[in-house]
Chains A and B, each alone.
Chain A
Amino acid sequence: MPLYTLNINNNSFEVEVNKGTSLLWVLREHLGLTGTKYSCGIAQCGSCTIHIDQKPMRACILTVENFAMGQKILTIEGLSEKGEHPVQKAWIKTQAPQCGYCQSGQIMQAVALLKEKPKPSREEIKSYMNGILCRCGTYMRILEAIEIASEENSAIN
């Protein structure tokens, strides 16, 4: 089995898996970074959203060999030390999660949005977040949390 070196959360990880293995299984089952979730496996739900070189991507449809060339992989575990990223704080403030299963993906997508566009309109938020499903129906609070984080963002900048 080939050996791959991955740059995840600013650390170097080595993993020996078959070519073609999805990055999601590598993160979760081989490296124990289980904050990134599996829900559909076909890029329809966004539960597995991570950042590759700052862009939000669905780990379930990425294969390991294409991301072992030094790309910077960021997962929820690497977002902040103790959950103190402004987006995470806004998530706590609005008490957004219910079951919580979709929330890593929601947060990673929201962080990418605010990087790209620090002051998004409500419609821009909805359109950017539309790929991430939440069965518990926490969308109202997700929207509110992103607006709060965006305001704090601009207060900081």
Chain B
Amino acid sequence: MMRDTNINKSRREFLKSSTGVALFIGMSGLLPSIVSCRDSKKIEKTLEKHNITAWVRITEDGDITIYNPAAEMGQGSMTSLPIIFAEEMDAEWSKVKVEFSPQEVEIYGSEGWTPGSKLMFTVGSRITKSNFPLMRQSGAQARHILMYSAAKHWDVPLEELTTDKSVITHPKTKRSIPYGALIPFLKTPKHLPKYSLNELKKTEDFRLIGKEIPRVDIPDKVNGSAKFAGDLRMPDMLYGVLERGNLHGAKPSLENEQEILSIHGVISLLPFNYAIGVIANSLEVALDAKSKLKIKWSETDATNFNSQEIYNSYENIAKDASTGKIIREKGNVNIEQNTNFKTFVSDFKNDYVYHAQMEPLNIVVQVIPNQQRAEVWVGSQQGVDPKLGIPDLLGYPPENINIHLQYLGGGFGRRSMNDFVHEGVLMAKEVGPKPLKLLWTREDDIGYGAFRPLSLQRLKAVTGINGAILSLSHCIIGDGGNLVASGTRNDHYDIPNELVEWRETKHGIRLKHWRAVGHGPNKFAIECMLDEIAADQRIDPISLRKNLMQNSPRALATMKKVEEMSNWTETSSMDRAKGVGFVEHGSLGSGVCEISVNKATGEIKVHHFWVALDAGIIIQPDNVKAQIEGGIIMGMSSVLKEQITIEDGRVVQSNFHDYNLLRIQDIPETIETFLIPSNENPEGVGETATPMVACCIANAFLRLTGKHLRHLPFTPERVLDALNT
């Protein structure tokens, strides 16, 4: 396993030392106060089991290991959270190594979601925001322990000590000692200070936060040694695959059980109520047997559902005079009409999209029934239950379930769903104590995917005598509650009257959060409506937004900045046009793209993208830019190419030959990101760029052609249709 070398090395150093347990900062009695855990026994037990401390371990050589409580799926938390910790600990970064923390929420959870709660959950682009205070506090406390020990060692007041890059100095006596050398003298204070904000480092004193520090996971990701769960191999390991069909929830009946069981290497068959599982002694045998299964599937709620024919019925639902579930209401949208008022009504639609994380779902599990224990190696976005629902599933005590988090080959929301985890556990239980690797093929991953829901947004805006927007009504039709109804807030626009309502439909299709969730379809609708109004009033779309943002200076600053970056006022060449969009998803982002359209083929080409972002304090500037670039590319992919369709309840697409992703030939010439300097708390950056893309492209298309693109994705056929209206 990837991190073993580090662990072994440290263990060796541990044994080498004469001072044993005191090697590690915050061992034993200290821990409960460090980690403010309610149950100190539990922590001690955890530590015995893992042979580590809560947040940091140092050796006499000054090597420092910091624990990262978040999943790493490419967003860079493996580096950014330890940077925050090391900043307050005043650690020498070149000596820092990073490991995943154990999945123990009492110790490593942060309260970013609800005050007072503790959660380890890498979703919603919240990791940096919610762990920022925690990492600072615990980093500062680690520094305090070292200073306390030095003060005792030298018999000087702690207040007279200073630290810099893993060295403690007592200026009065001109003595200094590196952190590592303090290990034999480590002392545990009775109490750990709880630092208030102004006792922590001032932003101007940061020497790690905001600097260009390379990501710690990248070297292993370019030499092939980074481990994803599916890369693990164990003695006696068996393989599991499942056939789930592509009609979600259909019940299988297997018609050739004996034939399958007689295949050499097949160990057993495990029926699920939605699938047939095959366990074999090699992956190739398991896959071969899977391909030979003869299964009769039941009908389901999805039977007869045809996704591309559903929009007519959605339009009828939107027409209905009654109101759906109110998501948000501000003022009263039923303003009395005046002949000088103008009403704009438009429908926006979006088809299902699929996560398409490059690593199909997989997991390695060992269930040891006689110990009531399970070891689980998984790339997971974690969950509300840090043990991923496994204790309930097995009826084993939670402390006997060990989750070994691995790198994720992409998450995008798919890996915060535990379906594959539970499949792996149930199959491993069948063959326990032998370990089992479960693999979803790409066909499984698409056919039994959980998609961003199809939906329709009907927007109605009313403008007053001077053209100002008086009201905006936003009616959402679709399945999935928050999955379709989130991302409708317009807090940065001054619109006095608003109503957001959701009208539910149900189709029996599996649904899930997909990067930026409801922001994708809803921002598309809102931002396009603004440009429709601007076009009608013949005013500049950026001017219109700047007017609406008068009371939101931070949002306004991003809009002004992107106007400048993109040379907005300079007209593009004849065959090109620029379009704008604004998205808040934690961070605030304004984007502009420049496009051209091939009028013969209907293909849209994106030439440039500019983004101005206010994300508060930036931990790793280059990594934030990488998130924006990736977010734009993924946005372009979904907006221009990606489409899941359902015919008679069945998912039509099955692999990358018919589910198209954007390839390198389609990238823009440039994606430029400007990060607005700020001392505000950090905000998430992973989901701000993706929803921007549909808005910017459709708005550029409107300015270029005078025509509207209101149905995602903008396939060449749809573009040609729009051009010919």
Known: A97-B218, A140-B667. A29 touches B630 (CB 8 A): no
Known: A17-B284, A135-B661. A99 touches B222 (CB 8 A): no
Q: Chain B residues near A29 (CB, 8 Å)?
A: 233, 239, 282-284
Contact with B along A34-65 (1 / 0, CB 8 A): 11111111101101000000000000000000
Q: A36, B224: Cβ atoms under 8 Å?
A: yes
17 extra interchain contacts, Cβ-Cβ under 8 A, other than A100-B221, A126-B665?
A18-B284, A29-B282, A34-B224, A38-B230, A40-B656, A76-B224, A82-B223, A92-B214, A100-B218, A101-B359, A102-B358, A130-B663, A130-B664, A136-B410, A137-B629, A140-B633, A143-B667
Q: Does A134 contact B (CB under 8 A)?
A: yes
Q: A141, B663: Cβ atoms under 8 Å?
A: no
CB closest chain-B residue, reference A97 = B221
Contact with A along B395-415 (1 / 0, CB 8 A): 000000000000111111000
Q: Does A142 contact B (CB under 8 A)?
A: yes
Q: Does A4 contact B (CB under 8 A)?
A: no
Q: Chain B residues near A35 (CB, 8 Å)?
A: 223-225
Q: How far is the CB of B129 from chain A (nearest CB, A)?
A: 19
Q: Does B97 contact A (CB under 8 A)?
A: no
Q: List 25 A-B contacts (CB under 8 A).
A: A22-B284, A35-B225, A39-B358, A40-B655, A41-B655, A42-B657, A44-B657, A45-B358, A76-B224, A77-B223, A91-B218, A95-B214, A95-B218, A97-B221, A99-B74, A99-B357, A103-B222, A135-B358, A137-B631, A137-B632, A137-B662, A138-B630, A138-B633, A139-B664, A139-B667
Q: Indicate which residue in B358, B656, B662, B667 contacts A99 across the interface (CB closer than 8 Å).
A: B358
Q: A133, B630: Cβ atoms under 8 Å?
A: no
Known: A92-B218, A100-B407. A134 touches B358 (CB 8 A): yes
Q: Does A2 contact B (CB under 8 A)?
A: no
A79 and B223 CA atoms in complex are apart in Å by 8
CB closest chain-B residue, reference A29 = B283
Q: Chain A residues near B224 (CB, 8 Å)?
A: 34-36, 75-77, 79, 104
Q: Chain A residues near B228 (CB, 8 Å)?
A: 37, 101
Q: Does B442 contact A (CB under 8 A)?
A: yes
A12 and B439 CA atoms in complex are apart in Å by 28
Q: Does A157 contact B (CB under 8 A)?
A: no
Q: B633, A137: Cβ atoms under 8 Å?
A: yes
Q: Chain A residues near B631 (CB, 8 Å)?
A: 137
Q: A37, B655: Cβ atoms under 8 Å?
A: no
Contact with A along B655-692 (1 / 0, CB 8 A): 11100011111010001000000000000000000000
Q: Chain B residues near A101 (CB, 8 Å)?
A: 228, 357-359, 409-410
Q: B356, A135: Cβ atoms under 8 Å?
A: yes
**A134-156 contacts to B (CB < 8 Å):** 134-143
A87 and B26 CA atoms in complex are apart in Å by 42
Q: Chain B residues near A40 (CB, 8 Å)?
A: 442, 655-656
**A104-143 contacts to B (CB < 8 Å):** 104, 107, 125-127, 129-143
Q: Chain B residues near A66 (CB, 8 Å)?
A: none
Q: Does A71 contact B (CB under 8 A)?
A: no
Q: Does B231 contact A (CB under 8 A)?
A: yes
On chain A, the number of residues with a Cβ less than 8 Å from chain B's Cβ atoms is 60
A4 and B215 CA atoms in complex are apart in Å by 40
A77 and B224 CA atoms in complex are apart in Å by 6
A32 and B231 CA atoms in complex are apart in Å by 8
Q: Does A70 contact B (CB under 8 A)?
A: no
Contact with A along B619-633 (1 / 0, CB 8 A): 000110010011111
Residues of A within 8 A of B (CB): 17-18, 21-22, 25, 28-30, 32, 34-42, 44-45, 47, 75-77, 79-80, 82-83, 88, 91-92, 95-104, 107, 125-127, 129-143
Q: B626, A142: Cβ atoms under 8 Å?
A: no
A83 and B651 CA atoms in complex are apart in Å by 41
Q: Does B227 contact A (CB under 8 A)?
A: yes
CB closest chain-A residue, reference B663 = A130
Q: How far is the CB of A65 from chain B (nearest CB, A)?
A: 13
Known: A37-B409, A39-B358. A25 touches B74 (CB 8 A): no
Tell me if A's interface is mostly helix, strand, loop or mixed. Answer: loop
Q: Chain A residues near B408 (CB, 8 Å)?
A: 99
Q: Indicate which residue in A32, A36, A83, A139 contacts B233 across the interface (CB closer than 8 Å).
A: A32
Q: Chain B residues near A135 (CB, 8 Å)?
A: 356-358, 410, 412, 634, 661
Q: B655, A137: Cβ atoms under 8 Å?
A: no
Q: Chain A residues near B667 (CB, 8 Å)?
A: 126, 139-140, 143
Q: Does B463 contact A (CB under 8 A)?
A: no
Q: Chain A residues near B356 (CB, 8 Å)?
A: 135
Q: Does B300 contact A (CB under 8 A)?
A: no
Q: Does B226 contact A (CB under 8 A)?
A: yes
A141 and B622 CA atoms in complex are apart in Å by 11
Q: Does B637 contact A (CB under 8 A)?
A: yes
A43 and B656 CA atoms in complex are apart in Å by 9
Contact with A along B119-147 (1 / 0, CB 8 A): 00000000000000000000000000000
A146 and B538 CA atoms in complex are apart in Å by 45
Known: A38-B230, A77-B224. A133 touches B656 (CB 8 A): yes
Known: A41-B442, A100-B74. A83 touches B219 (CB 8 A): yes
Q: A100, B664: Cβ atoms under 8 Å?
A: no
Q: How far is the CB of B179 from chain A (nearest CB, A)?
A: 28
A92 and B216 CA atoms in complex are apart in Å by 10
Q: How far is the CB of B239 from chain A (nearest CB, A)?
A: 8
Q: B626, A138: Cβ atoms under 8 Å?
A: yes
Q: B358, A133: Cβ atoms under 8 Å?
A: yes
Q: Indicate which residue in A18, A47, A143 contacts B664 across the interface (CB closer than 8 Å).
A: A143
Q: A137, B630: Cβ atoms under 8 Å?
A: yes
Q: Does B217 contact A (CB under 8 A)?
A: yes
Q: How far is the CB of B642 from chain A (nearest CB, A)?
A: 11
A33 and B219 CA atoms in complex are apart in Å by 17
Q: How far is the CB of A97 from chain B (nearest CB, A)?
A: 4
Known: A39-B358, A44-B655, A135-B410. A88 touches B663 (CB 8 A): no
